[in-house]
Structure 1
Amino acid sequence: MAFSRTQPIANLHGPSSLTDTHQEHPFADDTHTHHASQESVQRATPHSQADYLRWRPTYHVLPPYGWANDPCGPGYDPSTGLYHLAFQWNPKSAEWEDISWGHCVSRDLVHWVLGKEERWEEMRTVLSPTESYDREGIYTGCFVPEGPEGEEGVLSVVYTSVSHSPVRYTLPYFRGSESLSIATSSDAGRTWQRLPINPILPGAPSHLSVRAWRDPQVSTWPLLSRVLGRPEGTKYAIISGSVEDQGPNVFLYEIAQGGLTRWSFLALLVHLSPGLAKPTAWTGDLGKNWEVCNFLPHLVSLNAPDRAYMTMSTEGASRWGMQPGDVPNQGEAGRRPRWNLWMAGKMGKNGEGTPKVEHEFGGVLDHGCFYAANGFWDPVKERTISWGWILEDDLPPALRDAQAWAGVISVPRELFVLRVPHVAGTLSTPLDSIGCFDVTVEEGGLYTVETLGIRPLKEQELLRKGAREIKPAEVRLGKGNEVMHLGNPGKCWEFEGVVDVPEGTRKVGMYLRHSKDMQQCTELSFSPSAESITVSHTMAPSSLVRTMPTDAGPHTLLRYANGAREKLRIRVFCDNSVLEVFANDRFAMSCRMYPAEGADELSLFIDGEEGQGIMWDDVTVWAGLSVSGA
């Protein structure tokens, strides 16, 4: 049956929405009735309750209806102890258009809520495209836990205000179409007001022929302050984009002390060598334009104290993130060729005394359908936290329209510098051929490897509190090809396990969200010979989605002295149609699954030489993950 626009979406959520029902509400001491916005919004509506719930996640952040993409304005407010997270949102339909911001807050980075008097299903926009300078969209931005002049008790967001569209690097650039604006909140983020002087920057530097200029990030950067001889508390900003005939880059600005509205352009920051033009599976494709770039000012290298780390969302890439030469299956919907990358480079100054970062090495932040990573430095636990947008591109438009929502924000991830000493080599690829590794020689012929580390945030373990634990006494697969059924954990669960992968193993992994007859199955596998992790799908005849792309990314295991070898350490989050895979604190892959109803089984498997077996250690499944149980 069709749902009228007046029917409450609450009926469609079921018991596991993102409403905080088990903790004291962040605004519990507030006596005011408030709304996230003064505007009521037209809402996308599903064709039926079954359409809405069929593939909807339960413990990921996503709005109750409509289209969601880039995470925006992540940050922490020390005056209230609240974490803030916004995202681009079109509440009117499950397609990208009329971009506004949705916004939520949390005390623990797991339970995300709105204001005291609001239910999640009644979410409203906090910034909508209503002004002349942002009438075409409220694009991505950042969070600053103070007012424009440094005022305490005031929050600020800096965002890209778009007045002319489309804005694509492939089209002639309309100067002034992208400007920079600020909105502030004096009530802990419940309501936001634009500055009267917006836009604070009317556009990109006039002497540059830009192709794109958007997605600001603001932070202190101690390394850059040392290089420039500035006070350590100096704020800097980058804006992502590209320049005609120069390629992708970030525009670096210095912000006046106590003056968030006063920006001075310093330089195009990143210097890329010509040899980087050819991508590899280990490095990803730097593309032709950058979006949503973050510098990571608190990541410090022990190998090189002048090293800076950054993340970049790259578009105009030669292909999606698969193995060299592979052509991805576009499925019924299709994906745009883009990557979410990271890089490390030497910070210094050029001959004119302006700052520069020379690219040294880099890799892929996430090897799946993940984009627009955006994060911040958490002062509470002194760590870098990042989220990304998990796309809905694999679902045909008609099915997106039927469910009335599209796009999910990933689980939060910690980014850090991973340093592994006493390395002798890998499974096969030479260490110096892996472009995401920085390799230094130790005494005795061994090596120290440095790379960007990535892992789920520790707080995700809170979801285990109300889950059913499946912990087999022993997981031994003793034949060349054997499958061990772990049970039916449902649609929403977490898996953790460690396995020593023996020589000769073709692949090892799990069958998940599979039917009992295996006509419907998602396979997650690691191939030691190919040095890759792959997620592929077999779609049942009854499935509404007939084809799905295969996601794959390179991953090797390290060899140490005396023949010891690294074990494969896997952590998997399944949330109905969302799959997030992490391995060895340096690999991440986000995928979508759209299985037929009833395909909820989980099994482990090995494909190896006859008589060769493996033993999994510390296998645990937490079944029935939900924020309402945490």
Structure 2
Amino acid sequence: MDSSTETVCSSVAHRRVRPTIHITDSCWINDPCAPGFDPKSGDYHLFYQCNPHGCEWGNMSWGHVTSRDLVQWSKVRSEPALKPDMDYDKDGVFTGCFVPVVGDDENLTVVYSSVRKLPFHWSTPPYPRNAAGISIATSSDGGVSWKKLPNNPVLQGEPKDVQVTGFRDPYIALWPALDNLRGAKESCFYTLVSGGFESCGPTTFLYAISKSDVGSWEYLGPLVDLPARFSPSNSPEVNFGLNWECTNFMSFEESGNVRHFLIIGAEGDVERSHLRDGSLKRTVRQQLWMCGDLDNHDDGIRMNYKYGGILDHGSYYAANSFHDPRSGKRIVHGWIPEEDCTSEFATGKGWNGSLALPREVFLLSIPGASRALRTPLSDLADVEASRNENGLYDLLTLGVKPLEDLKTIRESSSHVTNLNDISFYSGSNSETIATIATPAWELESAIRLPEDCKSFALAVRRKDTQKILFEIVFSPENETITIHRRHSDPSGPFNDCPEIGSFTLFEIKDPQTSELKFEELRLRVFSDGDILEVFANDRFALATMVYREFEGEEFEIVPSMVGSTGEAVLSAFSLWDGIASTKSFVTC
């Protein structure tokens, strides 16, 4: 490190406020790995890729935290749980999964990508044969220590006679729908290993594993056939890329409807238009999902694409999930990278990357819809619309929202603001509705908008200078939610391009009055140091970074509306300021 870098590092470090409700570490971290539950101890386990030696990518190992409630986390050991110390994983312990505990098994088991040969990347073919295998580690002491199996790797690498773009990130779970399709006499585990076929397109490789022997894998074939760079014709912002990572499968049932989903990290070379002019370039990738039908083909089982969309419209990536046997919910963890700052800045503040707050994904049912704001229901790429007996439409899509138990972090907030039925008008002076005095807070609001509204915004600005830090803008005209970021830290440069995601409201029949009216816009926002996570109506999520200094200044929240002669009503608004005092995660 030269003297100029040291100066940047020292000047940055003293101004930084570490995240307090997000998991991070004093180093580089990326993909969440092996989320799972130990029924014997009652502990939730979560690992993450990390470089224990610095704030840049390298030396891929696994950090390890545990929790009793998925909210408060503690680190198990200062040393990595798994590190690259064998010949078959000498170039990295990459992403993996937690094997669900079944029966009376006393051991915990994780499965990971054991990398023996770097570099490799889908964009620089050919992929080196058997560069990454699949290996297993077990723990007999509740996860305190882990031993790699002596017969690792259980898979040397990708299937024979195919040229792949990647082969990594195993995901293992039970999948009763696949048991039924195969006519299996006994249930088994199924595994997805993500990647793609060179010159063909992305996919995920499907395996069957005996529950009594997780080291014995039967290859069933590729699960998905999609062309390279597949993009639904009615949703050009969605691109399923050229290589997949961290693919998870799941099935949901709601009101008699059963649907099968994949959550996908898609790598590609087509960047979303609003990100192309950023001052710092991001890795081109998207966190996606797809819904499909399972079917038997002559050459194996396939999931046929029906519809899909974006799981998170920001920088969030590498989603990894598990079925929580306590709640029956599907819990998803993800990574929030820091590609919008320089590596020198990240080194200076002392950490690089964090894990997003845990989320619930589910099959969201919206009955009795007549229309969206602008787009015909039949043209929405991420919604399944079925006409019902009343001539309206019942909608299905993948729902996403913060973990319900995250509401417990509100209990120790230093200040709470609650407001109801606040009216405001287009062109009127912007008035402050709440003041923020700490770096960590949560906001929940519901807004009723007039139909001719062109845009609605919640701005967070400095109280002393009125300078806006960021704005959350909903545009009914464009059917988008945009985060305008104005980084306030002088230690840049930072990428200040906006974050934009598609989002619309639906006109729905009120079950009590039979009146057709549009939904309220329901926002939930978490701000934790530089991390910002925004959720809307249980079907929109966006995580990003907004870099700023904290030296005791206060901020204000200001709503505004453009382009309507009617009134907008903030029907409910709550702010919990100072949620950092919960100490939900003791950083490493």
Cross-structure match for 2:64: 103
Q: Distance in 2 between matches of 1:543 and 1:129?
A: 34
Cross-structure match for 1:185: 139
| Cα 1:541/1:461, change in 2 over 3 Å | closer
CA contact (8 A) 1:282 1:435 kept: no
| Cα 1:156/1:327, change in 2 over 3 Å | closer
Whether 1:556 aligns to 2:504 is yes
Listed as ranges, the gaps of 5+ residues in structure 1 are 3-43
CA contact (8 A) 2:17 2:439 kept: no
Q: More deviation in 165-174 or 509-518?
A: 509-518
Cross-structure match for 1:369: 315
Normalising by structure 1, what TM-score? 0.86
Residues 333-390 of structure 1 show CA distances to partners (whole Å, capped at 9, x for unaligned) of: 32111100000001110134x2111000000000001000001000001010001100
| Cα 1:231/1:109, change in 2 over 3 Å | farther
Alignment of 1:212-611 (within 5 A): 212-231=166-185, 233-272=187-226, 276-277=230-231, 281=235, 284-297=238-251, 299-300=252-253, 305=258, 307-320=259-272, 325-331=273-279, 333-352=280-299, 354-467=300-413, 468-472=415-419, 474-485=421-432, 486-512=434-460, 514=462, 516-540=464-488, 542=490, 544-545=492-493, 547-561=495-509, 562-598=515-551, 600-609=554-563
RMSD: 2.4
Deviation of 1:580 (Å): 0.4
Aligned AA (2:446)? V
Residues 64-86 of structure 1 show CA distances to partners (whole Å, capped at 9, x for unaligned) of: x1100000010000010000000
Residues 388-426 of structure 1 show CA distances to partners (whole Å, capped at 9, x for unaligned) of: 100100011221121121001000000000011111000
Q: More deviation in 230-239 or 451-460?
A: 230-239
Q: 1:223 aligns to what SS in structure 2?
A: helix
Residues 101-127 of structure 1 show CA distances to partners (whole Å, capped at 9, x for unaligned) of: 000100011111134xx6xxxx22111
Cross-structure match for 2:87: 132
Cross-structure match for 2:122: 169
Q: Distance in 1 between matches of 2:181 and 2:489?
A: 61
Deviation of 1:168 (Å): 0.7
CA contact (8 A) 2:372 2:504 kept: yes
Which of 22, 38, 50 in structure 2 is aligned with 1:89? 50
Deviation of 1:608 (Å): 2.1
CA contact (8 A) 2:330 2:360 kept: yes
Residues 212-243 of structure 1 show CA distances to partners (whole Å, capped at 9, x for unaligned) of: 00000011101000000114631110100011
Q: Distance in 2 between matches of 1:387 and 1:181?
A: 22
Q: Distance in 2 between matches of 1:378 and 1:258?
A: 21
CA contact (8 A) 2:99 2:108 kept: yes
Q: Distance in 2 between matches of 1:67 and 1:608?
A: 42
Cross-structure match for 1:57: 19
Deviation of 1:289 (Å): 0.4
Deviation of 1:275 (Å): 10
Residues 9-44 of structure 1 show CA distances to partners (whole Å, capped at 9, x for unaligned) of: xxxxxxxxxxxxxxxxxxxxxxxxxxxxxxxxxxx9
Which of 86, 89, 113 in structure 2 is aligned with 1:160? 113
| Cα 1:625/1:280, change in 2 over 3 Å | farther
Cross-structure match for 1:37: none
| Cα 1:381/1:472, change in 2 over 3 Å | same
| Cα 1:281/1:551, change in 2 over 3 Å | farther
CA contact (8 A) 2:95 2:169 kept: yes
CA contact (8 A) 1:347 1:355 kept: yes
Q: Distance in 2 between matches of 1:261 and 1:47?
A: 46
Aligned AA (2:284)? P
Q: 1:200 aligns to what SS in structure 2?
A: coil
| Cα 1:450/1:526, change in 2 over 3 Å | same
Cross-structure match for 2:566: 612
Q: Distance in 2 between matches of 1:556 and 1:232?
A: 44
Q: 1:483 aligns to what SS in structure 2?
A: coil
Deviation of 1:618 (Å): 1.9
Q: 1:242 aligns to what SS in structure 2?
A: strand
Which structure would you say has the larger RCO, counting Cα contacts within 8 Å and 6 or more residues apart?
Answer: 2
Aligned AA (2:266)? T
CA contact (8 A) 2:243 2:266 kept: yes
Residues 269-314 of structure 1 show CA distances to partners (whole Å, capped at 9, x for unaligned) of: 01337994456547611000000010014x2365754x41110000
Q: 1:569 aligns to what SS in structure 2?
A: strand
Q: Distance in 2 between matches of 1:451 and 1:178?
A: 35
CA contact (8 A) 1:539 1:545 kept: no
Q: Distance in 2 between matches of 1:84 and 1:443?
A: 46
Q: 1:616 aligns to what SS in structure 2?
A: strand
Cross-structure match for 1:73: 34
Q: 1:432 aligns to what SS in structure 2?
A: helix
Aligned AA (1:336)? T
Aligned AA (1:137)? G
Give 1 or 2: higher strand fraction.
2
Cross-structure match for 1:198: 152
Normalising by structure 2, what TM-score? 0.92
CA contact (8 A) 1:519 1:539 kept: no
| Cα 1:61/1:232, change in 2 over 3 Å | farther
